[in-house]
Structure 1
Amino acid sequence: MKTLHLADEAATQALGRQLAASLRLGDAICLTGPLGAGKSTLARALIRALTSPDEEVPSPTFTLVQFYETPAFPLAHFDLYRLTDPDEAYEIGLDEALDGGVALIEWPQRLEGRLPPNRLDIDIALDGGARRAVLTAHGSFEGRPLEF
């Protein structure tokens, strides 16, 4: 477990870019935190680091998932906020996204414990005017050197 203090939006974006460089096929990044904590900011920075700086990255709140092609692997960005049943995530392609690429998952608590085994959990909390991110590695992320 590692705790990072993110002073501003730029620090949150920098974390997203740094995480992008560490991803491998089959990985999942799971982002939790209250509305407005910076989950989407981190996700956009990570996606743009893997695609292009001007990539259009809409929030998948209403579509539930957005797909991106990167030079290394396909990336699926899930926003599970509106899910009513964990099975819905698998119906819209979570398993397939992990089998052939990488998944970035906002609101993973909607999976009710059915989380991918190879994942990095990032819990973002508002801490005064800044943010605090707690990173917890699972599966293939354990022992992986992550530079921040």
Structure 2
Amino acid sequence: MNNNLTTHRCSFSLVDEQATVAMGKQIAKIVKSELNQGIVVYLNGDLGAGKTTITRGFVQGMGHVGHVKSPTYTLVEPYDLVNWQVYHFDLYRLADPEELEFMGIRDYFNENCCCFIEWPEKGNGLLANADITINMAYQGEQRLVEFQSHNTLGKNLLLALERSNIDSIE
């Protein structure tokens, strides 16, 4: 499905945790104001690279007030927001992909749902295809965040993110 018409890549350097949260909030702003439909995001990176932090920014940007915690032990944290459902999955501790079937994984993916999935490879074959993949890596004290789109929706999101004139969020 990846072809030159739908694949787009961009990257940003994030100086600290606040910049990572700000990036998540910017993605939420684009989803709400320009895309007006849910997205599926795969998050890759080592432990502590900022996957939960960027998701926290997104959840807050979508209107959640309060704590955003990692779903490491629950597999999924749901956020029921006005006009939106946001689901943050952390599949790191998933013992068997079949567990996803038992929890009704297919019900989480629809037009008004935004799904951020950490360790997506552990749910291979059972997850909806990603609109974008976010790869996060340490770069000294900063984080390098690389985005790749997988379809037209994802490409439109990344083009809007680039139009935001964000070279380095601080």
Q: TM-score, normalised by structure 1?
A: 0.87
1:68 has 2:73 as partner: no
Computed over aligned residues only, the root mean square deviation of the Cα atoms, in angstroms, reads 1.9
Output aligned runs, 1:1-148, within 5 Å.
1-23=9-31, 24-52=36-64, 54-99=65-110, 100-112=112-124, 115-139=127-151, 140-144=153-157, 145-147=159-161, 148=166
Q: Is the 8 A contact 2:24 2:57 kept in 1?
A: yes
Give distance in 2, aligned partners of 1:13 and 1:83.
26
Larger radius of gyration: 2
Q: Is the 8 A contact 1:80 1:89 kept in 2?
A: no
Q: Percent identity?
A: 33
Q: Is the 8 A contact 2:42 2:130 kept in 1?
A: no
What is the count of residue pairs matched by the alignment?
147
Q: Is the 8 A contact 1:120 1:136 kept in 2?
A: yes
Structure 1: where are the runs of 5+ without partners?
none
Q: Deviations over 1:79-129 (max 9, x none)?
A: 111112233234323321112512111111212365523421001000111
Give distance in 2, aligned partners of 1:38 and 1:93.
27
